[in-house]
Amino acid sequence: MHTRPSPRPRRTRDARSRTTARLTATLLTAAALLVSACSAGSPSTSVGGTVQAGLAALPRATPSALTPYYGQRLRWRDCGAPGFQCATMKAPLDYADPGAGTVRLAVSRKKATGTGKPLGSLLVNPGGPGGSAVGYLQQYAALGYPARIRARYDMVAVDPRGVARSEPVQCLDGRQMDAYTQTDVTPDDQRERKALVAADRTFAESCGTRSARLLRHVSTVEAARDMDILRAVLGDRKLNYVGASYGTFLGATYAGLFPGRVGRMVLDGAMDPSLDARRLNLDQTAGFETAFQAFAKDCVRHPGCPLGGKGATPAQVGDRLRAFFRALDARPVPAGDADGRRVGEALATTAVIVSMYDEASWAQLREALTSAMKEHDGTGLLALSDSYYERDANGHYSNLMMANAAVNCLDLPAAFSGPEEVEKALPAFEKASPVFGPGLAWASLNCTYWPVRATGEPHRITAEGAAPIVVVGTVRDPATPYRWARSLAAQLSSARLLTYDGDGHTAYGRGSACIDTAIDTYLLQGTPPAARKRCS
């Protein structure tokens, strides 16, 4: 998002949860390719200056060096709420050298509750990168998924390497994160530009210092390979999977590496692995503008919306929001925060962006803006921003943003080589979104100073030979634009595109009976939706 990592698809707002405003997108992540994942003869094409290599499938036979991992037994223990079990799984830190050390991954499950024929495990991932799949399972999925799904499947989650309970990437402490999240990402002069660069450098250097062992081994390809180990130790012949936002990239990567092991797979809020980081960020910037225009049209219909007013137009809503951001840049407002934080342009922009992920958040945003604009009270905006960063009342941050950067910066080369390139790209970003464009352009510097070189590159995923895969796209999705779903569905050889003509990020479990019925039927019966099925 505007905040380095930026609201790319960090699908870390639970795929269906409307109780928290976490997003699933932070600057996009595209696919990471390890040398072992693509053959020397992999085809590639050049589109718009971006080399698009194909993700090659791994050999079907499990290498002998990985046999101990595939043959391990998980020791389950009760954990969390009644019915949940947890275990720790081991995976090689480096798949190119499996004997060089291990990484410990947190796994959780809730066994199937019904008496019908079991369908095996259903692995879920809410996105990110950096979102805790275990937390998502225990807080929502194991109860929020339809009863008929939970009756037939063991609901399972694994926190990807570097995330939450799985040996998390660590960078800044709480006070340092407070300062980082308040950094001005729309610099007005050379001094502010230097401060932004310094903040990104400090963040990157702290990750390199505190997480040196992990930082080279948190790519999406490695996480996908970990999922195959989990499939095997759970005793499943094929992987059944529902991934949202970044979770779609993780799932598609798995399908590309192990097409013959794909079971029933749903990719909701799809990402396009064939795009480079700059194009991903630019597309997402346009996606947030699309979502904001929907909010603006809604705003002018609500008399209490502080950006609207009698006779206001959606264009005026945008103008007034930009003016409000400029005012906060000059004079932040108090927010009743115990640590003395005030809401300036950076935190306010985060609050607005997080609200674009779900139209159910618009009322809360209107209230927060009213308090800040009319009463000079930023409490509501700060609460929205804190939900995005997963900051609690004690000033502690989850490792979401740290893992997000670590995965994104390993999966793709940086969008920009330095501030000069950002300056040149500003007109394109401003055209994509007059409201969010400048901030999202500058936020794209977050990988420029990363201490570890990217191992991935843009590539296409075809997953030849995979069973039918359902790709879901929402027409006005802010974080994963609909065009990405169409592109991924065109790449995957067995994809069926399911379209939701609506607002918000992702579609499954968000109120469309048409979408939910199509996906539930596929998960239970294996029958994918009809080609080009469209729901509203």
Ramachandran quadrant class, 166 (left: phi over 0; alpha: psi -120 to 50; beta: rest): beta
What CA dihedral angle connects 354, 356, 361 and 367, to 10 degrees? 80
- Residues contacting residue 398 through CB under 8 Å, at least 6 positions apart: 132, 164, 390
Question: Phi-psi category of 148—alpha, beta or left, where left has phi over 0 and alpha has psi -120 to 50?
Answer: alpha
505 flagged as catalytic: yes
Q: DSSP state, 41?
A: T
Residue in 302, 315, 312 with CA at minimum distance from that of residue 359: 302
DSSP 460-503: E---TTPPPEEEEEEEE-SSS-HHHHHHHHHHSTTEEEEEEEEE
Question: Is residue 245 flagged as an active site residue?
Answer: yes
Largest CA distance in the chain: 71
Q: Is 42 a catalytic residue?
A: no
End-to-end, the C-alpha distance of the chain in Å comes to 27
Catalytic residue among 132, 166, 245, 512: 245
Active-site residue (options: 477, 487, 503, 512) = 477
Q: What H or E segment, with its residue span, contains residue 385?
A: helix 379-389
Catalytic residue among 2, 217, 459, 505: 505
d(CA 81, CA 274): 40
Catalytic residue ranges: 245, 477, 505
